[in-house]
A and B are shown apart, each in its own frame.
Chain A
Amino acid sequence: GAVVSQHPSWVICKSGTSVKIECRSLDFQATTMFWYRQFPKQSLMLMATSNEGSKATYEQGVEKDKFLINHASLTLSTLTVTSAHPEDSSFYICSARRTSGISSSYEQYFGPGTRLTVT
């Protein structure tokens, strides 16, 4: 159990175009999903928290108009990188939070990531 998928696994796009990345929890419902980005040899950077049925919460310094997040159902969140530029090239990873059997505790499971290259 606790499988999270991401699609696509890698994408190359031209500067100025938009790219949509999908994140799905396959065997559990996730009211909360997270979007991270990671540059080579650096740690995870939380971009935003996606809540089903409400607006995403963005971390400081992350442009909400550039990184559009939609959490349309309990198993699907999408991240759209709008007007992508080469500096947006990165490894984007989503995760989904699953309720643990222990009260008020959650575990976070990551998708396999999407490698975005903007040319």
Chain B
Amino acid sequence: QKEVEQNSGPLSVPEGAIASLNCTYSDRGSQSFFWYRQYSGKSPELIMFIYSNGDKEDGRFTAQLNKASQYVSLLIRDSQPSDSATYLCAVNSGTYKYIFGTGTRLKVLA
């Protein structure tokens, strides 16, 4: 059974701090990794994707991938209250299916 695991949280960080969200996956054949943000009552929104080992930066967001250790993380710099949401990690192993984690709830405290 291919799995994607995330800590459900809530992860609370003060405004302006760095929020660090982590995700581990079980399938070593996984090739593509995605981070989605989901506000309460809304659908998920793609914020980052990463395919290669290392870091990928986009604005305040940095995705980090370590295939040897089978984890992918998302860093949010200068966290804002508007970043408060559930963050979903998704993994694709080259098939048509994506495996989603259950999400980490982030609270940014003003």
Contact = CB atoms under 8 A, between A and B. Distances in A.
B44 A44 contact: yes
Nearest to A109: B46
B70 interface: no
B65 interface: no
Contact of A113 (B42, B49, B96): B42
Interface residues of B, number: 23
Contacts, number: 47
Q: Is the interface of A mostly helix, strand, loop or mixed?
A: strand
Contacts of B60: none
Interface residues of A, number: 22
B10 to A, nearest CB: 12
Interface of A: 2, 32, 34, 43-44, 46, 49, 91, 93, 97, 100, 102, 104-113
Given A44-B88, A44-B100, 13 more contacts: A34-B98, A43-B101, A46-B97, A49-B97, A91-B41, A93-B44, A100-B49, A105-B92, A107-B49, A108-B46, A110-B45, A110-B46, A113-B42
